[in-house]
Amino acid sequence: MLGLPVERTAVEAGAAFGAALLGGVAAGVFADVHEAVAACVELRETIEPDAARVETYAEGYERFRRLYPALREV
């Protein structure tokens, strides 16, 4: 919907995995977050945006942006 590729990681742990990486940075195992990600995060796949869906979302979002000011008063 945003017109950007989405990179899926091999690990599905999400927040816990991110917290572990941040802990490694805090403990000095990694110099910074970028180093931690480069060392530990493996990408499974990249999903390219679907142009038709991006366009549909953009149209709906533009409609929302036009209507929102009127709806705020309700």
Average pLDDT on 45-71 reads 92
Residue environment code for 35-73, b if the CB has 16+ CB neighbours within 10 A, otherwise e: ebeeeeeeeeeeeeeeeeeeeeeeeeeeeeeeeeeeeee
Q: What is the pLDDT of residues 23-57, one digit of tens each?
A: 999 999 999 999 999 999 999 999 999 999 999 99
The per-residue pLDDT for 8 is 92
Q: What is the pTM of this model?
A: 0.60
Give residue 6's pLDDT band: very low, low, confident or very high (50, 70, 90).
very high
CA separation for the pair 15, 36 (Å, rounded) = 15
Domain extent listing, the chain: 6-72
